[in-house]
């Protein structure tokens, strides 16, 4: 009889320990796990863009192009489709080929006076604004500028 009571008590005791342990674990989980705000903040950090904004300057053509563009063109052109003094240059390599763009940059006046319709239409659209001539820029320079524009 006594033995039976003892056994029952032992079972109850074990159950009690299990319940208390469960309670402690739940409490610890609540205290130790990050709060909702922390989780959101952590997710925000993870969602931050891995790539820094702007063109990839690790490409030497893009870096050289940016330098040429900044020094000579950015007063009148954006590498996007935004109009500054002249047209935005985004996608210009799909409108004109490299040979045309090189000739144009080296001597816009000459292209205009040759009767080139595209150039003259654009010149009219920009109310006869003269683009500066850059006789020192070669095809390689223009290629770099186009790489920079594309990277934007």
Contact footprint for ligand HEC (CB under 6 A): 72-73, 75-77, 85-87, 89, 92, 95-96, 101, 104-105, 108, 122-123, 126, 129, 131-132, 134, 137, 145
Contacts of 148 (CB under 8 A, 6+ apart): 55, 61, 62, 64, 65, 66, 68, 69, 79
Q: What is the distance between the alpha carbons of residues 92 and 119, in angstroms, rounded to a whole number?
A: 13
CA distances from 96 to 73, 102, 128 (A): 17, 10, 20
Q: Which residues contact 107 (CB under 8 A, 6 or more apart)?
A: 133, 135
Please give the structure tokens belonging to residue 109: 């006046």
> Minimum CB separation from ligand HEC for residue 103, in Å?
10
Q: Which is nearer to ligand HEC, 95 or 110 (CB)?
A: 95
Q: How far is the CB of 114 from ligand HEC (least distance, A)?
A: 13
- Complex with ligand HEC: residue 40 or 85, whichever CB lies closer: 85
Residue 3 or 136: the one with the smaller Cβ distance to ligand HEC is 136
Please state, in angstroms and rounded to a whole number, the distance separating the CA atoms of residues 77 and 152.
Answer: 13
Smallest gap from residue 62 Cβ to ligand HEC (A): 15
Name which of 12 and 75 has its Cβ closer to ligand HEC.
75
Distance CA 76, CA 47 (A): 36
- Nearest to ligand HEC of 8, 80 (CB atom): 80
Q: Closest approach of Cβ 149 to ligand HEC, in Å? A: 8
CB of 70 to ligand HEC, least distance (A): 10
């Amino acid at each position: 009889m006594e033995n039976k009571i003892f056994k029952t008590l032992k079972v109850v005791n074990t159950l009690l320990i299990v319940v208390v342990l469960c309670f402690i674990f739940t409490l610890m989980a609540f205290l130790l796990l990050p709060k909702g705000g922390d989780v959101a903040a952590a997710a925000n950090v993870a969602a931050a863009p891995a790539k820094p904004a702007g063109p990839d300057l690790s490409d030497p053509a893009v870096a050289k192009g940016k330098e040429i563009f900044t020094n000579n063109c950015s007063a009148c052109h954006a590498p996007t489709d935004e109009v500054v003094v002249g047209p935005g240059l985004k996608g210009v390599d799909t409108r004109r080929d490299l040979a045309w763009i090189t000739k144009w940059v080296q001597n816009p006046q000459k292209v205009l006076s040759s009767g080139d319709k595209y150039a003259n239409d654009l010149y009219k659209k920009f109310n006869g604004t003269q683009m500066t001539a850059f006789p020192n820029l070669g095809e390689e320079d223009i290629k770099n500028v186009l790489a920079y524009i594309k990277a934007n």
